Amino acid sequence: MTTVTTAQATAILDAAQKKAEDMGIKQNIAVVDAGANLLAFRRMDGAWLGSIDIAITKAKTARYFDMPTGDLGEMSQPGKSLYSIEHSNGGLISFPGGIPLEDGDTVIGAVGVSGSTVDDDHAVAQAGADALSS
Amino acid sequence: MTTVTTAQATAILDAAQKKAEDMGIKQNIAVVDAGANLLAFRRMDGAWLGSIDIAITKAKTARYFDMPTGDLGEMSQPGKSLYSIEHSNGGLISFPGGIPLEDGDTVIGAVGVSGSTVDDDHAVAQAGADALSS
Amino acid sequence: MTTVTTAQATAILDAAQKKAEDMGIKQNIAVVDAGANLLAFRRMDGAWLGSIDIAITKAKTARYFDMPTGDLGEMSQPGKSLYSIEHSNGGLISFPGGIPLEDGDTVIGAVGVSGSTVDDDHAVAQAGADALSS
Amino acid sequence: MTTVTTAQATAILDAAQKKAEDMGIKQNIAVVDAGANLLAFRRMDGAWLGSIDIAITKAKTARYFDMPTGDLGEMSQPGKSLYSIEHSNGGLISFPGGIPLEDGDTVIGAVGVSGSTVDDDHAVAQAGADALSS
């Protein structure tokens, strides 16, 4: 199983933190490996305590279904096909901020960010994911 | 990290209970510290048993995200940005009754109230929070 | 169902806290009612965070079986009749610090204390229980 | 309540990882803040997956009771005063590898390490804790 490494995960945290600092926001950042198991986590000083679990769960959710968490959320609204999927797996997060990490066509892990608006969270997660290919 | 003290928490419980008595309602009242850990709790005679967990979770939710629980609830409705956030952190409460406790610009804890209508709960929680600054 | 009242629970917390202060220790103190549901809780400044759950669980355990928690613990040691009972009820505490509250021959609740040695915890819980009859 | 910072937590992870590399072992390393909430985590490539939870729980346990986890374990053996305390707080870890982080006399967080023998885990956690004062 190809998976994101510890060194890559640390680089992802660093890149995401730098992006958050540039944006003037405080974030929780999590990286899971190809097995959806926690690999690295960092909470910036003063970031929301409730976002510890959300950042980790966003990363897990993104790897569970190999798609950005916001994409899943569009399918889990009332009346949609995956309504209430958040009840599974001990609780999922289905709003933006979780992004799969890819090596070519292979998903090798995921990054999850929480602590600001969902647009901010997604942007910071993307900055983290971009560090993988740089 | 500045945190609410035991003496302050007891004063908050007393003020909230007095407000509830004035309103003729029976409440569960909880205070958590800056680390979102339970600091003080009181259930008034005859108050709902199901509100023990809700009052404590409201207080935790308010500290987890440093905002009144009702504000979070507006963002967690179907179609809104934080839809289904209640599945995180082992269960959140996103209707009114939880209020952060502040020392200037610093959140030092939170109070949560449950046992009546959400408007009543919020009013009682506010009376508790006001005791901090008096 | 006769049960300890909110006013009595607050008096129990006050008496237990005073005893702890006299002993120079920091305690978590919990009172449950006749239904084993949380009625009142107080954590003294600087008391162990891990004792929040233990104090509450000691109080519940004492009411679940209508005996001091230390008595239960003697029966739950390896080779004894109630070995591993701590796995039940979502987790019990079977060392001293939980004491039933009695009105004559009727158990009307329980008090649980955690934060120091088990002998200290028991002494503080007893001081709380004594406040009921004074 | 003074708490360990994000920058300090990252330095602790770096120091612990270097120690583990010097010892030729693979570790999971976690840091919690003064409120016992997760602040930073790192799993070294190939480290045990089952140690993710153990490292985090060791750090929480060390902060919950402001002592090394191995000290707690000596008191939780059959026949000892805290027998079965592991059932509290949703599960504790009471063998070595968790160490409180101190600023003078104040506990400001804790570090937890899991992935090798308990002696190795403790040594790596100590190397992490030592980074705080260097």
Q: Is the pLDDT of residue A1 over 90?
A: no
Which residue of chain C comes nearest to B44, CA vs CA?
C6
Quick check: is A29 in a domain?
yes
Quick check: is B1 in a domain?
no
Quick check: is C1 in a domain?
no
Quick check: is A115 in a domain?
yes
Here the CATH number for the domain that contains residue C127 is 3.30.450.150
Angle at B72 between CA A69 and CA B119, to 5 degrees: 150
Contact present, B and A (at least 3 Cβ pairs less than 8 Å): yes
Q: Is the pLDDT of residue B1 over 80?
A: no
Q: Is the pLDDT of residue A60 over 80?
A: yes
Number of domains in chain C: 1
What pLDDT tens digit does each residue of chain D (134 aa) get? 699 999 999 999 999 999 999 999 999 999 999 999 999 999 999 999 999 999 999 999 999 999 999 999 999 999 999 999 999 999 999 999 999 999 999 999 999 999 999 999 999 999 999 999 86
Determine how many CB atoms are found less than 10 A away from the CB of residue D79: 8
Quick check: is D31 in a domain?
yes
- In percent, the amount of chain B with pLDDT more than 70 equals 99
Quick check: is C31 in a domain?
yes
Chain B residues whose beta carbon lies within 8 Å of the beta carbon of residue C49: 35, 37
Nearest CB partner across the interface for B89, out of A53, A78, A117? A53
* Residue A4 at interface with chain D, using a CB cutoff of 8 Å: no
Chain B residues whose beta carbon lies within 8 Å of the beta carbon of residue D1: 1-3, 33-35
Which residue of chain B comes nearest to D35, CA vs CA?
B35
d(CA B122, CA B70): 9
Quick check: is D1 in a domain?
no
* Residue B87 at interface with chain A, using a CB cutoff of 8 Å: yes
Chain D residues whose beta carbon lies within 8 Å of the beta carbon of residue B36: 35, 37
Nearest CB partner across the interface for D2, out of B1, B36, B37? B1
Quick check: is B41 in a domain?
yes
* Predicted pLDDT of residue D134: 67
Chain A residues whose beta carbon lies within 8 Å of the beta carbon of residue B61: 50
**Partner-chain contact D37 A45, CB within 8 Å:** no
**Partner-chain contact A6 D38, CB within 8 Å:** no
d(CA B78, CA B67): 20
Buried b (16+ CB within 10 A) or exposed e, C14-34: ebbbebbeeeebbbbbbbbbb
At position D97, the amino acid (one-letter code) is G
Residue D41 belongs to what domain range? 6-133
* Predicted pLDDT of residue D133: 81
